[in-house]
Structure 1
Amino acid sequence: MTAEAALLTQFTALDTAALSDALNACGLPPGEGGLRPMWGRPKVAGFARTVELGPLTGEHGGAHILTSAIAEAGVTDVIVVANGGRTDVSSWGGIVSVGASVRGVRGVVADGACRDVGQARGLGFPVYARAQVPVTARGRLRQKSSGEPVVIGGVTVEPGDVVMADEGGVVFVPRARTVDVLKAAQLIADREAAIEAEVRAGVPLPDAMRDARLAGTER
């Protein structure tokens, strides 16, 4: 296993709630809601391969959106599509799911709508988006950039940042802060596991969820 794959394995051992709390504790933007798995309950972590889309207003759209990013992506990547949260037009569809799956891409997080979810499900390809819509991007969207910083729900995502998505939402972790965030998230996960164990053993909830304990100041 490569060092990059091992890093991603550490993320998938956690969940987005713990990672969101850890981001908050590290002074970073917490997780994003509203980006839901479009089928099943997959969990995915990878390095951001970014694409920004925008409206097509009469000019020629050029090469089909997303194709260049997918052609350059690999087995540790997650495609991150910035489309301003639009849900009236698809920013991800079935053929690009096939192309990404063939490349071994881990999944896609689209800040907008998607379509052809059944095709993605059949491929076992994780798709996170804000909605489903049958409306094609052809003639409606153009690709503004690929491999540049993008903004997803107010959070700036740099190429190579870690993207983690599960049924609870999506988090974006700056690549340079992965060690800090993982350490904080593991402490949070361990603390919450201990609280749960006490509650199941009969400890009253107010005692188990002591303020000092939740704040991480109790030794």
Structure 2
Amino acid sequence: MTSQSTLLEQYAALDSAAVSDALDALDLTPGQAGFLPVWGTPKIVGFAVTVQLEPYQPGPSGAHIGATAVADANESNVIVVANDGRTDVSCWGGLLSLGASLNGVRGVVADGACRDVHEACEIGFPVFAKGRIPATARGRLQQRSTGEPVRLGEVTVTPGDLVLADETGVVVVPVAHLQTVLDHAQGVAAREQAIAADLRAGVALHEAMRDARLAGITEEH
């Protein structure tokens, strides 16, 4: 069985489009739009640690949003923050980025907005989000749960699922399909590399780039 570290290395060699194509081929939810890096062009691959947020309700003070997930995460993880796509309030900030970075966390994907972008950039911590806003979460958001399945766009993320995010978008690979999706995605990448080599060698685009070839289907002549 392939080790977790080897799986992460192999997925890191792929992009979100190849993995999305593989998910499609297996009738799994493909890649998600709208999650963009807030600085630079990082790519992150890791196993999900999840946080579910909800609107603030007055009551006893609990853990700061995201703090327990940061404490539980390590160098193999990506933190997924579910905030229903809200962009009117920040659900991730600079101190969370610092704490996660010090724990070796690979990055965060937030279904919402973030703040303190310069702080994440300064420490080189990748943050993918739906937007940026200075408005604090204090008095606006609270943590409902951590370590439970959450919705990220159109897909459910279960702790331990693989999350890959790059400048194109985000893909989520269910833990039960890690090896199968990887095999398909590597096939997609290899076919596209072969087509690119043909184009550079002078093969006409309509000859090199055929739907059957892209799909890995043997064509009959």
**1:34, 1:130 within 8 Å by CA — same for their partners in 2?**
yes
8 Å CA contact 1:19, 1:181 repeated in 2: yes
What's 2:127 paired with? 127
Specify the SS of the correspondent of 1:101. Answer: helix
User: Higher mean Cα deviation, 142-151 or 193-202?
Assistant: 193-202
> Paired residues, what number?
218
Deviations 1:108-128 (A, max 9, x none): 000000000100011110000
Note the alpha carbon deviations across 1:10-36, whole angstroms, 9 max, x for none: 111000000000010111000011100
CA contact (8 A) 2:89 2:136 kept: yes
Secondary structure at the residue paired with 1:178?
helix
Specify the alignment match of 1:52 in structure 2.
52
3-state SS of paired residue (2:125): coil
TM-score by length of 2: 0.96
Q: What corresponds to 2:14 in structure 1?
A: 14
Q: CA contact under 8 A between 2:107 and 2:126: conserved in structure 1?
A: yes
Residues in 2 aligned to 1:48 and 1:105: alpha-carbon distance in whole angstroms? 10
Letter in structure 2 aligned against 1:134: P
Q: Compute the displacement of 1:60 (Å).
A: 4.0
CA RMSD of aligned residues (A): 1.2
Answer whether contact 1:42 1:166 (CA < 8 A) is retained. yes
**DSSP 3-state at the match of 1:6:** helix
Partners of 2:131 and 2:86 lie apart in 1 by: 9
TM-score w.r.t. the length of structure 1 is 0.96
- Give 1:5 deviation, angstroms: 1.5
Distance in 2 (CA, whole Å) between partners of 1:153 and 1:25 is 20
Partner of residue 155, structure 2: 155
Query: Match for residue 86 of structure 2?
Result: 86
Cα deviation digits, residues 179-215 of structure 1 (max 9, x gap): 0000000110010111111111111111111232123
What's the CA shift string for 1:67-87, capped at 9, x where partnerless?
Answer: 111111111011000000000
Identity of aligned residues (%): 60
The 3-state SS of whatever aligns with 1:62 is coil
| Structure 1 portions without partners, runs of 5+ | none
**Distance between the aligned counterparts of 2:119 and 2:5, measured in 1?**
27
Amino acid at match of 1:198: D
Q: Give ranges in structure 2 of 5+ residues lacking alignment.
A: none
CA contact (8 A) 1:36 1:128 kept: yes
